A and B are shown apart, each in its own frame.
Chain A
Amino acid sequence: MTLYFLDFLLFMIGLYALVTKRHIVKKILGVAIMEYSVNLFLILIGFKMSGTAPIMVADMDFATFIRTAVDPLPQALVLTSIVIGLGTLALMVAIAIRLYERYGTFDMHEINRLRG
């Protein structure tokens, strides 16, 4: 149970960085921390305390396999989600670089020409 609380704390740290900081790169780091925490939540759902890896060795019984192995399905989902997060992060950094070229500043409070 404490693992879920710590994961939620990580999500809140990322959200705090996204909301309160003014520098673009710090916001991007906040988004990255939030993505890590969401992937961690997905893995924690299939987690068992002192469980083994979900690989079935030749002499293992099926019932013991189910009893002791962690759930492999969230791990497959997380692999895909990590790569999606990587692509989005790369896009964010590229847009941040170009924003600096256009506006001359990294401060998000001054990048607000679209208003109203």
Chain B
Amino acid sequence: MEKKVESGMSSIVKTITSVMVGFMMLFAGYFILFGDEVPGGGFPAGVMMALAYILITLAYGREFVEKRVSGITASKLTDVGVLIFLFVGFFGLYFSGTFLNNFLQNNESLFFTSGTIIINDVAVALTVGMSLYLIFLALAIFGRVVCEGSLCKDLGRDSEEEKE
């Protein structure tokens, strides 16, 4: 068995990254869960998630990330986020008459004190986080495009979607 070449950065960076990513995801989760009472909400949570993934990509190299969260998965997760948001709005329409109505409003449980806002926050964080990660992949990791005339094809990478 031949010796595998280490890709990514040095092992000090890898160790610290693996610790910090956990905390960053925890911070993003804190924003989502308590976003209705504390300044925060969906958008900063999504940005923290995207930053966690970008940090892993920078520290461990692209092959490591491709096996776990590739560009295709990130793109599909963005769509899933938008679909969750639309379904929550649609259920609001179905239950109480207007779109995006807060049909879990006066709930006294631990997390759902503001009703459907937390589900919306999860959807927004998923969409924003995966979109930012895709932007980073598209600008830095995906390959270059070669054009003859007006037909263009992607060199190098899997020629999958570079979303926007």
B-binding residues in A (CB < 8 A): 53, 79, 82-83, 86-87, 90-91, 93-94, 97-98, 101-102
Contacts and interface: CB of A to CB of B under 8 A. Distances in A.
Nearest to A86: B132
Contacts of B43: 79, 82-83
Given A79-B43, A83-B43, A87-B164, A94 B138 contact: yes
A93 B138 CA distance: 11
Contacts of B162: 94
20 contacts: A53-B39, A79-B41, A79-B43, A82-B43, A83-B128, A87-B131, A87-B164, A90-B135, A90-B139, A90-B164, A93-B139, A94-B135, A94-B139, A94-B162, A94-B164, A97-B139, A98-B145, A101-B144, A101-B145, A102-B147
Interface string B124-152: 00001001100100110000110100000
Contacts of B147: 102
Question: What is the size category of the interface that chain B forms with chain A?
Answer: 10 to 19
Interface in B60-100: none
Chain A interface main SS type:
helix
Contacts, number: 24
A91 B138 CA distance: 11
A106 to B, nearest CB: 16
Contacts of A86: 132
Contacts of A87: 131, 164
Most buried by B among A82, A83, A93, A102: A83
A91 B43 CA distance: 19
B156 to A, nearest CB: 13
Given A83-B128, A93-B139, 7 more contacts: A53-B39, A82-B43, A87-B164, A90-B164, A98-B145, A101-B144, A101-B145
B84 to A, nearest CB: 18
Nearest to B138: A94
Contacts of B144: 101
A101 B145 CA distance: 8
Nearest to B144: A101
Given A83-B43, A83-B128, A102-B147, A91 B139 contact: no
Nearest to A83: B43
